[in-house]
Structure 1
Amino acid sequence: MSGEGAALAIRAATRADAPAIAALIDGLGYAADAEVVTARMLAVREARQHVLVAADGAVIGVLTTSVMHVLHRPKPVGRISMLVVSPERRGSGIGAALVAEAERLLAAEGCGLVEVTSNRRRVEAHRFYERLGYEHTSHRFGKTLTP
């Protein structure tokens, strides 16, 4: 249950946040449980990536970032690869607060550009990013690899 009236905090995720993060990811249609999320969070941390949560007594949003060093850009490229806010709290500024903190962290790491990945079916998310100043600049292709 969200802490009604509690101040919103944007902070680094902890192991204790894993069940709530798993529920948010599951709400997007991706299978996730707390154990798997905990393992992935540890791997992300080792790769010097960020997992941020928005909490007001309960975790109500999550965002992940990574940094890529590419040959064709003078500075590293930051990427927001996942942003989820509890459906009942969308439209209240939580996603924008998470993105602002991600941008601050990525700028501090020397990134000259931030990219966002978003499933092409999530049209409302695309509008959200455009309102924050992001532009549709490229297409991304994916291929599932099997062992």
Structure 2
Amino acid sequence: MIFREATRQDLPAVLALLADEDEVVDPASIVVDGASERAFASIAVDTRNEMLVLTDGSDGPDGVVLGCLQLTYIPGLGQNGRERALVEAVRVRPDRRGEGLGAALMRLAVARARERGCGLVQLTSNKRRAAAHRFYERLGFARSHEGFKLSLTD
């Protein structure tokens, strides 16, 4: 397994992981639109953002993308002025779950946050994702806050 920052070449595979949590989506079927291109380009140049992928290592580091997550580092006055790391878009291919890949990906995210000097790692998860909640709790994450969101798109 190889962990690394995503490249533009990985974008269809990342979008395929995000497209459906329960089914494997063929990255070749993904049409990358302009909005996704712009979002990825913004993440790639922003020193406070990282899109990480886990590949199977076939054909070198560019192998099949098995998982992904986005890390965003947020400056703040809390935590004694330390940044906090926000974890988003955590996905592992449905046909590869249960192999410890998600846990390894999350351990990498936590390690990167520690190396950067972050005071905490936080994430939100949809209330319907009970299995994901158990997964995060097994990794030591606590349900310490109630989250709120306001959609700005209809």
Bin for the TM-score computed over the shorter chain: 0.7 to 0.9
CA deviation profile, 1:78-114 (whole Å, cap 9, x unmatched): 1111200000111111111111111121112210100
How far apart are the structure 1 equivalents of 2:40 and 2:129?
24
Gaps of 5+ in 2: 23-29, 57-62
What is the Cα-based RMSD across aligned positions, in Å?
1.9
Task: Determine the structure 2 residue equivalent to 1:71.
Answer: 77
Task: Determine the structure 2 residue equivalent to 1:23.
Answer: 16
Q: Which amino acid aligns with 1:14?
A: T
Deviation of 1:146 after TM superposition, in Å, equals 5.0
Partners of 1:17 and 1:59 within 8 A in 2: yes
Q: TM-score, normalised by structure 1?
A: 0.86
Partners of 1:82 and 1:117 within 8 A in 2: no
Counting matched residue pairs gives 138
SS of 1:103 mapped into structure 2: helix
Task: Determine the structure 2 residue equivalent to 1:135.
Answer: 142
SS of 2:95 mapped into structure 1: helix
Partners of 2:2 and 2:55 within 8 A in 1: yes
How does 1:78-117 map onto structure 2 within 5 Å?
A: 78-117=85-124
Task: Determine the structure 2 residue equivalent to 1:11.
Answer: 4
Is 1:122 the counterpart of 2:129? The answer is: yes
Partners of 1:22 and 1:33 within 8 A in 2: no
In structure 2, the CA distance between the partners of 1:105 and 1:125, relative to structure 1 (3 Å rule), is same
Percent same amino acid at aligned positions?
36
Task: Determine the structure 2 residue equivalent to 1:34.
Answer: 32
Gaps of 5+ in 1: 1-7
Partners of 2:18 and 2:89 within 8 A in 1: no
Q: Which amino acid aligns with 1:140?
A: G
Detail structure 1 runs of 4+ shifted over 4 Å in the superposition. Answer: none
Q: Which amino acid aligns with 1:53?
A: V
Task: Determine the structure 1 residue equivalent to 2:52.
Answer: 52
Q: TM-score, normalised by structure 2?
A: 0.82
In structure 2, the CA distance between the partners of 1:143 and 1:83, relative to structure 1 (3 Å rule), is same
Deviation of 1:33 after TM superposition, in Å, equals 4.3
